[in-house]
Structure 1
């Protein structure tokens, strides 16, 4: 997961159309969650821009779907969710100020050191 200057992370989706069946339905499902999915130039690779909540919703909807070819995307997004940057973790914690270290670790799969750093930054500036 990479984060450009506007702090909206994007996830690379290599060979997106070649890996899924019913790609139009999947793209519509992703866009319904408020995510942006776009092709990178003229390549076969795509990118997904989403915040943490949108990622969680998208992953759960894909896992609930009956389309087998979409499951690779849920797995790929879950792996990318684990590598959230400090800014994204801080944004998650700011949306829920009473969040604990263990709850942040459970929701984002970050390390205990990352969670403590985020909570300390939130509490002490």
Structure 2
């Protein structure tokens, strides 16, 4: 029954979750921001049986480059350092550098 809740959380983020043919395998089509949103939701629920999904998502998210973090700040100019660290999966120094770079662009 927890699988239905997991699928609902994934679909709430706006991702496309489809079954591959008639197999038990699933395909998730999502942007990096959507993957981050899903992983944050899964962390909040703290369901032990979902930890493998969380680990798989975090491995697929990868890391942001400095340019990616700056673009993220441009889209969300009022973001705090802590929010940026959480959402972009970067260090505090990288987040501060991106925020400072954005301020100098204005």
TM-score tier after normalising by the smaller chain length: 0.5 to 0.7
TM-score normalised by length of structure 1: 0.50
Question: CA offsets per residue over residues 1-32 of structure 1, 9 Å max, x none?
Answer: xxxxxxxxxxxxxxxxxxxx732221111111
Contiguous gaps of at least 5 residues in structure 2? none
Q: Counterpart in 1 of 2:31?
A: 50
The answer as to whether partners of 2:17 and 2:26 remain within 8 angstroms in 1 is: no
Bigger fraction of residues in helix: 2
* Offset of residue 70 of structure 1: 0.8
Give per-residue Cα distances to partners, 1:51-93, cap 9 Å, x unaligned. 41x3333212212225311111112222322334788545413
Counterpart mapping for 1:110-125 below 5 A: none
1:49 to partner: Cα distance: 0.9
Alpha-carbon distance in 2 for matches of 1:70, 1:37: 16
Instruction: Note the 1:73-84 alignment, pairs <5 A.
Output: 73-84=53-64
Give the paired residue count: 103
More moved, 85-94 vs 26-35: 85-94
Alpha-carbon distance in 1 for matches of 2:64, 2:54: 16
Q: How does 1:99-110 map to 2 (within 5 A)?
A: 106-107=85-86, 108-109=88-89
Aligned CA-pair RMSD = 4.0
Query: TM-score normalised to the size of structure 2?
Result: 0.56
Alignment partner of 1:38: what SS? strand
Which of the residues 32, 43, 46 maps onto 1:63?
A: 43
Q: Is the Cα contact below 8 Å between 1:82 and 1:110 reproduced in 2?
A: no
Q: CA–CA distance in 1 between the matches of 2:77 and 2:13?
A: 24
